Amino acid sequence: MAALLALAMTGFICIVTETLPAGLLPQIGAGLGISQAITGQMVTAYALGSLLAAIPLTIATRGWRRRNVLLLTLAGFFVFNTVTALSHHYVLTLVARFFAGVAAGLAWSLLAGYARRMVAPHQQGRALAVAMVGTPIALSLGVPLGTWMGSLIGWRTAFWIMSGLALLLIGWVIAKVPDYPGQSRHERMPLRTVFTTPGVRPVLAVVVAWMLAHNILYTYIAPFVVPAGLGERIDLVLLAFGAAALVGIWFAGMLVDRHLRTTVLASLAAFALTAGLFGLGARNPVVIYLGVVVWGITFGGAATLLQTALADAAGRGADVALSMNVVAWNAAIAGGGVVGGMLLDSWGVGSFPGSLVMLLTVAFIMAWSSRSHAFRPGLRSGGAPVGGH
């Protein structure tokens, strides 16, 4: 458990490091002498680093011992958050943010496979749920806390604190996280072979459709809740979402090893129905709060469910497939910002529910029709061994 929680803490650092600038735009902009719009590109640079680095770095390091790769990512967070805290030049800050994103891309492709190797096959889904618990905690508590600290004691101090957490986590990993060998040369599957493995592409397609729907709503949640009179209560809305996501992770941990297919389909259906209710009751705060809770529960378990399905389908190519998941996930984050912005500018927030229902229906149909390799019914078999362990 201590080892799995170290992985969860790694995810926490990834998320908070990524999103911290979003809550500190005025302070960072004033400190570097730039506009808030330009400051916002610190988030873009981080996402770009993750997108570009996840697959090539995962392939380059898959023969390394696993703990060394994890320590490399944490050292990256320590170094590049420190540079961000010290920098007085925007270009240097952007470079540091890009390479912090590179570290995150490698970390995300590593965590799921690492967690699965620590336990027996029938416990892999539950272990992954524990390793993913840092994500909703970061989204619900870490980001507001970082924003509050940055406002209170300065944005540079907030990044210093992230560096300190990375340093503490390096010690935790050395003390508590077991090491495993990387893949031997004969076990390594080419990228194309992994991508064309039956079941891999359907899971990635579901990831893109589901997460695009999620990110359209999550990115523009502030204007979305204004018609219900909750524009000043966005902190409570996000807190409700984060708390519900924690419940969703608990549900996913309980159900993923026995009922993965059913849980994926139920989550997509529940989110789609909730999006439909948002369309009918957009001005009712009770509908919004209840909908946010259901949405949070379905999102909380998504990473566990989808990464388990992907790793099972990919077998020996799991690490490479999971790096593709990082790219798909980050593309959906970027796409949510772009598509949501276009919808908002053209038709307003009233266009969100219908768009979400369409995307989630596509994801549901793809998951429903992929029962042979991607989303199999019944008990999980645990997939093929990862990394020769």
Each residue's pLDDT tens digit, 180-192: 887 666 666 777 8
112 vs 214: which has the higher pLDDT: 214
CA dihedral 334, 337, 342, 347 (to 10 degrees): 140
Q: What's 228-241 look like in SS3? A: HCCHHHHHHHHHHH
102 pLDDT higher than 50: yes
Distances (CA, A) of 20 to 258, 335, 356: 37, 20, 27
Which residue is it, tokens 């893949």? Answer: 183
Q: Check residues 85 and 218 and name the one with the higher pLDDT.
A: 85
Using the predicted structure, report yes or no on whether residue 26 has a pLDDT greater than 90: no
Q: Directed axis angle between helix 302-314 and helix 318-347, to 10°? A: 140
One-letter amino acid at 244 equals: A
Overall CATH class of domain 191-368: mainly alpha
Cβ(192)–Cβ(59) below 8 Å: no
How far, rounded to the nearest angstrom, does the alpha carbon of residue 347 sit from its chain's CA centroid?
28
Domain boundaries for CATH 1.20.1250.20 within the chain? 2-187, 191-368
DSSP assignment string, 2-39: HHHHHHHHHHHHHHHHHHHHHHTHHHHHHHHT--HHHH
Q: According to the model, what pLDDT value does residue 278 have? A: 93
Whether 167 shows a pLDDT value over 90: the answer reads yes
The most confident of 79-83, 230-234, 320-324, 331-335, by mean pLDDT: 79-83
Listed residue (176, 213, 145, 206) closest to 359, CA to CA: 213
What percent of the chain is predicted at pLDDT more than 90? 37
Express each pLDDT in 269-327 by its tens digit: 999 999 999 999 888 999 999 999 999 999 988 988 998 899 889 888 888 888 888 88
- What is the reported pLDDT for 297? 94
Q: Mean pLDDT across the stretch 233-243? A: 81
pLDDT value of residue 386 = 41
Q: For residue 265, what pLDDT is reported?
A: 96
Q: Is the pLDDT of residue 147 over 80?
A: no
Q: Whole-number mean pLDDT of the chain? A: 86
Q: Which residue did the predictor score with more confidence, 187 or 149?
A: 149
How far apart (Å, rounded) are the C-alpha atoms in residues 17 and 368? 36
The rounded distance, in Å, linking the Cα atoms of 209 and 214 is 9
Residue 220 tokens read as: 């523009």
Contact 155, 32 (CB under 8 A): no
> In the predicted model, is pLDDT for residue 383 greater than 50?
no
30: confidence class by pLDDT, cuts 50, 70, 90: confident
**Of 154 and 163, the one with more pLDDT:** 163
The architecture (CATH level 2) of 2-187 comes to: Up-down Bundle (1.20)
Element (H, E) at 211: helix 200-219
